[in-house]
Amino acid sequence: MNSFDTFCPSHGNHALERRGFLKLAGAAGLGWLTPVGQLLARQAEKKGKTSEPAYSVIVLWLAGGPSQLETFDPHPGTKIGGETKGIATGQKNVQIAEGLPLLAEQLADVSLIRSVVSKEGDHERGTYTLKTGYRPDPTIEHPALGAIACHELPADKTEVPRHVSILPNQWPGRGGFLGDEYDAFKLFDPANPLPDVTRRVSAERDQRRVADLSIVEQAFAKGREKRVEATGHRQTIARARIMMDSAQLKAFDVASDSESVRKQYGDTPFGRGCLAARRLIEVGVRCVEVTLDGWDTHANNYNSCKANNAILDPAFAALLKDLKQRDLLKKTVVLCLGEFGRTPNINPAAGRDHWPDGFSAAIAGGGIRPGVVVGATDPQGSKKVERPVTVGDLHATVLTALGLDPKHANASPIGRPIRLAEGEAVKELIG
C-alpha cells in the first residue's frame, strides 16, 4: 500500500454503519477517514439537525458562453442591457431576462451567482476550467465535476453508468487522472433508443460467445497477466453485461413518462435530456450533464438568445418542479452555466463577444440556500464585480453540498496530491 492509499481508495459498494464512524472519529475529527467515511460520518452527525448532503448533481451546460445579460443578469434600461428587458421573479426585487418566464416562477428555489470570474476566454480552455474547476495544465488532466462525484461517493446498487453526458459537444466531462472509467457515458436525443444494449443473437448463442471469449482471453493473458489486467478490459465487459440486463435501463426511456410531463419539459432534445436526467438521478446516477449548444453569439445576439431561452426555460423550470414534487431536489444539486459570459458592449455584428470577467451561474437544490443573489456586475460594463466568485469557489460550493471536503486530495499518477477544488465554498449559499 502506498502513502496515498489511505485517502485515495477504490470506491464501490460500501456497507458502513454511520454510528460506528462517529465513535471511531471521536476527538480526532474526520480528517483521517476516507471520503466515503467522511460523508457517512458527517451525515450521521447531522441526523436530526439538518438535511443530509445531496447525492447527485445535474449540470445544464450552456455551450458557447451564454450572455449573462440575456439570461440571469439583465440590466434593462442601460446601455449594456441593450434590447433585453427584465421580468419579475419568485424572488423579491430580483429580475431575470424576459425570455425565461417559467423559470422566473420557480426562482424562489434557485440562487444566482452573478459574479463568476475566470481567467479563460477561449472556448476549449474555458470549458475545461468550468467543468473541472482548474485551468488547463500540460502536466495533468483534471477530472470533471461528475467524475469526482462518481469517484468520491458510494456506487450503491447503480448498474448503469453513474456519469452521463446527454447531447455532448466535443468536450464532455472526462475522468482525467482518476481514470477513463470515470469518463461520461455519452448519448444523444433520448427520444431514440439507447444503442448497443440489445443482444442481436439468442441468449444461448450469446452465452456460447462469452464462453469462447473467455478461452481466448485466458490464452492471451498467459505471461502477460499484469498488462492485461491494467487495461480494465474484463471489468469493462462485465459492467457492460450487467447494464444490458439491468432494469435500470428503463431510466433512459423518456417515452415511458406521461405525455403531460414530457410536454412540460418541451418537445426538444434538450427538454428530453433534462427529463432523462431526472429519471437517471432516481436510479442512483451521480452526475448528468445536459448540453444546450448555440450560445456563441458573436452575431445576432438578441435573436439567438431568444431562441435558446425558449428551449432552456421550459426544460429548466420543469426539471426544478419535477425534482421538488418527487422530493429529489434536496438530494440533487442543479447547476446551470457555460464556459464564460458575454461582453457588455454590442459589437458591429449585433453580437456580444467572450467575457470571463463577470458572468452568471444558477444553482439550486442539494441544501444550497435558495433565493440568494451573490455578487453583482457593473451596470456601466466595467470588469469590476462585487463579491467575485472564482471557478474554484463554485466547485467547492457544489462539492460541499454533496457532503465532500473540497480540500481532500487525491493522488495523481505520479503521486502528486490534487485537491478536489482549489477554492472555498460560497458561504452565502451553504448552511
CATH number for the domain including 397? 3.40.720.10
Residues 159 and 302 in one domain: yes
Residue 3 lies in a domain: no
Residue 366's pLDDT band, with cuts at 50, 70 and 90, is: very high
Residue 261 lies in a domain: yes
Residue 404 lies in a domain: yes
Residue 58 lies in a domain: yes
Residues 228 and 287 in one domain: no
Between residues 58 and 227, which one has the greater pLDDT? 58
Residues 333 and 264 in one domain: yes
Residues 240 and 279 in one domain: no
Angstrom distance (rounded) from CA 345 to CA 118 = 19
Residues 155 and 284 in one domain: yes
Residue 128 lies in a domain: yes
Q: Which residues contact 93 (CB under 8 A, 6 or more apart)?
A: none
Domain that holds residue 114: 51-192+253-419
Residues 383 and 335 in one domain: yes
**Pairing relationship of beta strands 163-166 and 373-374 according to DSSP bridges:** unpaired
Residues 83 and 144 in one domain: yes
The residue out of 231, 249, 267 marking a domain boundary is 249
Residue of 59, 305, 40 whose CA lies nearest to 184: 59
Residue 32 lies in a domain: no
Q: 201-254: per-residue pLDDT in tens? A: 777 887 787 777 778 877 777 778 777 677 666 777 767 776 777 889 999 999
Residues 199 and 74 in one domain: no
What's the mean pLDDT when you consider all of the chain? 88
Q: Is 338 a residue whose pLDDT tops 50?
A: yes
Residues 123 and 177 in one domain: yes
Which range (4-8, 190-194, 238-242, 305-309) has the least confidence? 4-8
Residues 65 and 148 in one domain: yes
pLDDT at 171: 97
| Contact criterion met (CB below 8 Å) for 416 and 141 | no
Amino acid present at 414: I
Residue 15's pLDDT band, with cuts at 50, 70 and 90, is: very low
Residue 374's pLDDT band, with cuts at 50, 70 and 90, is: very high
Q: Is 29 a residue whose pLDDT tops 90?
A: no
Residue 2's pLDDT band, with cuts at 50, 70 and 90, is: very low
The residue out of 228, 249, 270 marking a domain boundary is 249
Predicted TM-score (pTM) of this structure: 0.86
Cell matching residue 371: 433565493
Residues 413 and 290 in one domain: yes
Residues above pLDDT 70, as percent of the chain: 86
pLDDT at 236: 74
Q: Which whole number is the average pLDDT over 115-144?
A: 98
Residues 215 and 358 in one domain: no
| Contact criterion met (CB below 8 Å) for 120 and 392 | no
Q: Is 49 a residue whose pLDDT tops 70?
A: no
pLDDT at 281: 97
Residue 362 lies in a domain: yes
Query: Burial letters for 59-87: b for 16+ Cβ neighbours within 10 Å, e otherwise?
Result: bbbbbbbbbbbbbbbbbeeeebbbebebb
Give me the phi and psi of 285, to 5 degrees please: -65, 135
* Count of structural domains within the chain: 2
Residue 16 lies in a domain: no
Residue 113's pLDDT band, with cuts at 50, 70 and 90, is: very high
